[in-house]
Amino acid sequence: MKKAILITILSLFTLGIFSQTLDTIIYNGDSDEHINVVILGDAYTSANHAANKLNTDATNFVNALLNESPYSEYADFYNFFIIKRNSVQSGTDHPGIATDVIEPLSPVQTRNTYYQTTFDVDSIHRLLAPMGTGITNAYTDLANVFPNYDQIIMLVNDTEYGGSGGTIATSSVNASANEIAIHEMGHSYADLADEYYAGDQFAGERANMTANNNPATVKWKDWLNILGIGIYQHTCSSGNCSSWYKPHNNCKMQFLGSDFCSVCKEAIIDKMYSLADPFENKIPNLTSLFSFNGNCTTFGSNLILTNPNTYTIEWELNGNIIPSRTEETEVWKYEDFDFGTNVLKLQILDETSLSKSYLPDDGYFFELSWVVNKVDLCSKTVDKFDYVNSFPSGSSAGQTTADDFDWTEWVGSTPTSNTGPSSAYDGTTYLYTEACCSNIPNKKAIYFTDCFDLTRVNNPKMSLAIHMLGKDIGKLEIAVSDAGGNTNSYTVLQTFTGEIGPDWKEFEWDLSPFVSPYTKFQFTVTTGSGIEGDIAIDYLRVFSGCASSLTLNQTHTGVNTYEAQSTITSTSNVLSGSTIYRAGSSVNLNGGFNVNAGATFITQQGGCN
Ligand SMILES: [Zn+2]
């Protein structure tokens, strides 16, 4: 919609090629994402500019505009800039040729101004507008310093009352100037008609003017009998005003100092939303497929807010509204998505009471979407607990080629003296990394496990027996992923550096921060510089730790034991296999609890010690 060529132009401008200058009055954000109102000043001399008179006049206008509903509610959507251009003289032309007053109503004068504004346009005394090459000058200045403007205002440094609402909304700096400029911007910006009868040549269908007086079909029928909105016939001393109707009898499009009527407010908001939407950005800013990376990613947008806030925010994933997600940015986890292609949408509905255009639900509705790809990295998922792996033959789930050498399955002592265990910690086999030959120095060996569905384990823990003996021992890193080992998804649980001692030692980690259906472990050795640096692991266990009380809501397959020091409360459905509840005092089986045919269910007292 908008082009970001402003920066190029500004840099030309700072080289002094142009003799106009650009100042910022209010900046709410990126000009591509906001509505840019550019104010040109005519009849401001170099002395006026030296005194910042245009800055002052423009600031007064902007403050008045942003105090006026519906600009006040949507102020953050607008940027305001001024272009300062010297005129030879202040004040502007009063030719004294109007036919709607007895001329000369004010002293006849001719002024040398850059945009060549004049009163008495179309023989109407108060009609003030730039003329001839002055209009060309205005568009040349805009093209040179701010080509991506959305609305132009021209403030004319003359105190006579007047203005006009053409493409360039024009206003003098009369005491009523702010009201004139806001009214004229109603014409230029929102294409509103005057709600007084300005003459047959100005009559036509507009948001706030119609020849249709049928309450069932009039364009503002949704507003009828609300806040003074009706179907009011225009009145005039001459012309065809009786054919035309307006929505209100006291609108700013009729009387300066009045508010905009509801129909005009809605037209202004409609215009705004035709130029901008509430999204200030897109996070991440991708139009192509997003390959899920890491455990979690923030999706969303910074919003241009309304005051008061009238937005409803919804998130939709694969066609389903997610009621728990109501923020403009939300963190989404790997497990939130399905494998394969997902469509994630952020949807904003502005339900402002100032408009009925959003009704029924497709008016002020805005949407961002992302296509998210989730790759299944779990070749196998363990869902039976407690799980024990003593690394017997053939159990190596995860050697990888993304390292320098492999872990070795071994029985008895490792080949080098003064390093490595003499036997397994459990059973006869274990895994170790041989610190020798091409495996040193500073070489990596990575082993990763199967995935574990930790949603099936209460208070899950992992333990591992580790053997690190020898003067050249390097480093062992224990890491966990709750995203199936997805890129960048590992969190380091612990890093062991140097010797632990002559014996195996068992370590235990709490997995409750990493519960997902795709929890996976990775063990990474980095060798030291010498051969006395064998590192061994054995007896990997993933199991349920003990809780004081348990509330279980999942179904069970396989063999499960749940232990609690006091109470186990469950609405679980025991589908198959065998499930044991061991509670210290009581087991409460709530509504919905079923033991299916073929399943074994046992409760025991004694619980967790
Ligand atoms: Zn109105």
Instruction: Give CATH for domain 381-543.
Output: 2.60.120.200
Q: Is pLDDT larger for residue 539 or for residue 553?
A: 539
Within 26-94, residue ranges assigned H as helices are: 46-50, 53-66
Question: From ligand 1's centre to the CA of 252, what distance in Å?
Answer: 6
Residue 65 has pLDDT above 60, yes or no: yes
Question: For residue 4, what pLDDT band results from cuts at 50, 70 and 90?
Answer: very low
Q: CA dist 440 to 421, 428, 472, 523, Å?
A: 19, 27, 10, 18
Per-residue pLDDT of 565-575, as tens digits, reads: 789 998 877 77
Question: From ligand 1's centre to the CA of 68, what distance in Å?
Answer: 13
Question: From ligand 1's centre to the CA of 269, what distance in Å?
Answer: 13
Question: From ligand 1's centre to the CA of 238, what distance in Å?
Answer: 22
Q: So what's the pLDDT on residue 596?
A: 83
Question: From ligand 1's centre to the CA of 229, what distance in Å?
Answer: 9
How many residues belong to the chain?
A: 609
Is the four-CA dihedral 49, 52, 55, 58 of positive or negative sign?
negative
Per-residue pLDDT of 371-397, as tens digits, reads: 998 888 888 889 888 899 988 755 546
Look at residues 273, 368, 274 and name the one whose alpha carbon lies nearest to residue 73: 273
Is the four-CA dihedral 426, 427, 428, 432 of positive or negative sign?
negative
* Residues by chain with Cβ below 5 Å of ion ligand 1: 208, 251, 253, 261, 264
Radius of gyration from C-alpha coordinates of the chain? 38
Question: From ligand 1's centre to the CA of 224, what distance in Å?
Answer: 13
Question: From ligand 1's centre to the CA of 149, what distance in Å?
Answer: 25
Per-residue pLDDT of 180-204, as tens digits, reads: 999 999 999 999 999 999 899 999 9
Question: From ligand 1's centre to the CA of 251, what distance in Å?
Answer: 5
Residue 289 has pLDDT above 80, yes or no: no
Question: From ligand 1's centre to the CA of 178, what distance in Å?
Answer: 17
Question: From ligand 1's centre to the CA of 70, what distance in Å?
Answer: 12
Question: From ligand 1's centre to the CA of 228, what distance in Å?
Answer: 11
Look at residues 136, 124, 128 and name the one whose alpha carbon lies nearest to residue 111: 128
User: What percentage of the chain reaches a pLDDT higher than 90?
Assistant: 71
Domain 1-190 class, CATH top level:
alpha beta
Question: For residue 275, what pLDDT band results from cuts at 50, 70 and 90?
Answer: very high
Question: For residue 534, what pLDDT band results from cuts at 50, 70 and 90?
Answer: very high
Q: So what's the pLDDT on residue 103?
A: 86
Q: What is the average pLDDT across 582-609? A: 84
Look at residues 386, 392, 469 and name the one whose alpha carbon lies nearest to residue 435: 469
Question: From ligand 1's centre to the CA of 33, what distance in Å?
Answer: 28
Question: From ligand 1's centre to the CA of 41, what distance in Å?
Answer: 28
- pTM here is 0.77
Domain boundaries, the chain: 1-190, 194-276, 290-374, 381-543, 547-605
Question: From ligand 1's centre to the CA of 79, what distance in Å?
Answer: 24
Question: From ligand 1's centre to the CA of 358, what distance in Å?
Answer: 19
Q: Are the CB atoms for 522 and 448 separated by under 8 Å?
A: yes
Question: From ligand 1's centre to the CA of 255, what distance in Å?
Answer: 10
Question: From ligand 1's centre to the CA of 264, what distance in Å?
Answer: 4
Give the span between the Cα atoms of 481 and 547, in whole angstroms: 23
Write out the H or E segment, with its range, that includes residue 41: strand 35-42
Question: From ligand 1's centre to the CA of 480, what distance in Å?
Answer: 63
Q: What is the average pLDDT across 116-140? A: 95
Q: How many CB atoms lie within 10 A of CB 41?
A: 28
